[in-house]
Chain A
Amino acid sequence: MATPSVLDKIKGQSSNGKSTARKLCLVASKGSLDMAYPPLILANAARMSGIDVDIYFTFWGLDIITKSKMNKVNMSTVGNPAFSMAPYAPWFKIPTWMGIIPGMSRIATWMMNREIAKLDFPPIPEFIETLVDTGARLYGCKMSMDMMNLTEDDLVDGAEILGAMEFMEISKDAQVMFV
């Protein structure tokens, strides 16, 4: 028989077959490309580690799970003082006024999508599909949906509508992160 400490070490990592105590609730409130990925990446990392995940999409974050918009999530080039040409020319800080030049957002979106693909991260629609398959639960904020005249049919398969008070219920024993 192997020494208990070895077995404990091995067991320590795992919660296989048991429900995990840890739960994460993410609020995704932004609809620009650079702000859409962080909650998705964190949610996926949590599921890969066996942590339970709920993602609540609210305001512009709803675009990420809206069928007609999820393919068109763009980089915003205005109002971002950190905007630069990284990784092509990290020394070139793009002046904020330049962000308003027509076509800048499209170029920035194209570049970022290319860099994301290079790292083998999926495009947003595929990422959402993967997250549903991992068992992450996706919710559209009821108030935001009413405001934007959306119904459950407008959301990706697997997403549900949830009110703010219901979000309080599901996030009761969870760590909550607002993005």
Chain B
Amino acid sequence: MTLTIDLSILENLEFDDDGFMVDHDVWTPEIGAAIAAVLEIEMSARHWDVINFVRKEYETNGEAPTLRRITKAGGIPTKELYTLFTGGPAKIAAQVAGLAKPTGCI
């Protein structure tokens, strides 16, 4: 997925003090791409696989999946997750996907 990155779309969105989107439902892939750009992540197809899975889970269950679920049900191995999002995959995937800071322990 190649998206034009336009940071100005973040301007009218509300973020909490930790930098997570407040209204999870206004998220679009373009917003995700802009957030990722701010975080200096170069989004590859594999990154999007994670983000799309996280979004799909959120839309089905109303909350972000745990990392364990991303690896087990989403089919993305733990090692790869940590390579894609080196600064902590749980937080960063949720942030790029426009969801709240994850609270799960696993």
By a beta-carbon cutoff of 8 Å, the part of chain A in contact with chain B is: 1-3, 6-7, 9-18, 20, 41, 44-45, 47-51, 119-122, 130, 133-135
Query: Is B51 an interface residue, CB under 8 A from the partner?
Result: no
In-complex Cβ contact of A16 among B67, B69, B92, B101 (8 A)? B92
In the complex, the answer to whether B39 meets A41 with C-beta atoms within 8 Å is: no
Size bracket, chain B contacts: 35 or more
Please give, as numbers and ranges, the residues of chain A lying within 8 Å of B40 by CB-CB distance.
Answer: 14, 16-17
In the complex, the answer to whether A48 meets B67 with C-beta atoms within 8 Å is: yes
30 contacts between A and B (CB under 8 A): A1-B7, A2-B11, A6-B15, A7-B7, A10-B35, A10-B95, A13-B20, A13-B91, A14-B19, A14-B40, A15-B88, A16-B85, A16-B87, A17-B40, A44-B105, A47-B82, A47-B88, A48-B90, A49-B88, A49-B91, A50-B87, A50-B92, A51-B88, A119-B106, A121-B106, A122-B106, A130-B68, A133-B79, A134-B79, A134-B82
Q: A7-B38, A121-B106, A122-B68 are in contact. Are A18 and B10 (CB under 8 A)?
A: no
Binary CB contact string for chain B from 35 to 58 against chain A (1 if under 8 A, 0 otherwise): 100111100000000000000000
How many angstroms between the C-alpha atoms of A135 and B67 in the bound complex? 14
How many angstroms between the C-alpha atoms of A10 and B98 in the bound complex? 11
Which 8 A-B pairs have CB atoms at the shortest separation, nearest pair first?
A: A50-B88, A16-B87, A133-B78, A48-B90, A2-B10, A15-B87, A50-B87, A10-B19
Total CB contacts across the A-B interface at under 8 A: 106
In the assembled complex, the CB of B91 is this many whole angstroms from the nearest CB of chain A, namely 6
In the complex, the answer to whether A120 meets B91 with C-beta atoms within 8 Å is: no
In-complex Cβ contact of A12 among B8, B10, B19 (8 A)? B19
In the assembled complex, the CB of B4 is this many whole angstroms from the nearest CB of chain A, namely 15
How many angstroms between the C-alpha atoms of A165 and B57 in the bound complex? 46
Binary CB contact string for chain B from 94 to 106 against chain A (1 if under 8 A, 0 otherwise): 0100000110011
Query: Is B62 an interface residue, CB under 8 A from the partner?
Result: no
